[in-house]
Amino acid sequence: MTSAQNAKTMALDARRLLCEVLPIKTVQIDGGLLVDGAFVPLRDGVLRFRSDSGYNRSFGMQWARFRTNQFDEVNGTSLSMRRFSETRWELDDLRGKRVLEAGCGAGRFTRILADAGSRLVSFDYSSAVDVNRENNGHFQSVIFAQCDIFDMPFCKGTFDFVFCHGVLQHTPDPETAFHYLVSMLAPGGRISIDVYLKDRLVHPFKSKYLWRWLTTRMQPEKLLNLLEWYIPIWLPIDTFIKRIPYLGNWLGLIVPCWNYWATDLSPEQKVQWAIMDTFDALSPAYDSPATLKDVQRWFRDARLESVDVHLGGNGVVGNARRAVRDT
């Protein structure tokens, strides 16, 4: 099969996937879809179930600025793959399966899911989905959409895998958002989520909670300009502080600076990641962490099977499977 024929086959599969996961009353027309009588435009390769970034405007701006920083093949690390491995999914198991990615950002995990050969629907609330489309649009079997996790247009019970990492804490109600995602699972389907950890320990990343009362009131553009000015100056000092045993945790609370000094990133990349993730911490409208017990309760209330809730690299990770037959 030629590359052109293969691309055509993948595009046809994407159209079949749309028919499987969208309501029955869906008609493809010029410029978009007619879903239950409502016109959904297809603009720049993205189905627009919403027209703006709303409360997640900062994320649209963030990923337009840091388009490929988190891609392993760009930064020369395995940071994204290590995060993804917390799903405990085998990549081979994703091939040909219907996968929903909720909150795609610039597409660091979209790349992994698409490379695995999944039949992927990847969406974001914000215009970050446009960056994802630019980064991963060459996967013709991927459907890109802009929509709300609380108002997903997809049919319930249609996805074999649901993936949502780095997202729930930035919604108005993480627990409710989780249950919406569970509703998308087909019988026997698997879900993996993570959410920031809420605990009583002292840690430098909690410096954001001393400053968010101010930074969330700033224009995102002004906040980013401020970070791009002070982070390169402050980062070497911050690195020295955070290497101090015990005391470094306390001193690191004073000035917010996400520091990747212990990673394989290059010095230039460490500066860019510090700016990117400090902005990520200070700018979102919502930042709602959860305790380990909170997340365990979410999964228990959802009546999922093979539940595995544990501490992970970004907070609390939860993995589970929907029963083949609901009781």
Q: Using an 8 Å Cβ cutoff, are 79 and 56 in contact?
A: no
pLDDT tens string 268-283: 999 999 999 999 999 9
Helices (H), ranges, the chain: 3-21, 57-65, 72-75, 79-84, 91-94, 108-115, 128-136, 174-183, 208-215, 220-242, 247-251, 267-282, 292-301
Please, what's the b/e burial string for 223-239 (b: 16 or more CB within 10 A of its CB; e: otherwise)? bbeebeeebeebbeebb
pLDDT confidence tier of residue 58, bands split at 50, 70 and 90:
very high
Helices (H), ranges, 76-219: 79-84, 91-94, 108-115, 128-136, 174-183, 208-215
Q: Which domains does the chain show, CATH number per domain?
A: 3-197+289-321 (3.40.50.150), 204-282 (no CATH)
Instruction: Look at residues 177, 185, 142 and name the one whose alpha carbon lies nearest to residue 161.
Output: 185
Query: Tokens 């998308």 map to which residue?
Result: 184
Question: What mean pLDDT, rounded, does the chain reach?
Answer: 93
pLDDT confidence tier of residue 2, bands split at 50, 70 and 90:
very low
Count Cα atoms within 13 angstroms, Cβ side, for 71.
19
pLDDT confidence tier of residue 139, bands split at 50, 70 and 90:
very high
pLDDT tens string 226-283: 999 999 999 999 999 999 988 888 998 999 999 998 898 999 999 999 999 999 999 9
Q: Using an 8 Å Cβ cutoff, are 298 and 291 in contact?
A: no
| Measured distance CA(291)–CA(299) in Å, rounded | 13
Of 280 and 2, the structure prediction assigns the larger pLDDT to 280
pLDDT at 312 over 70: yes
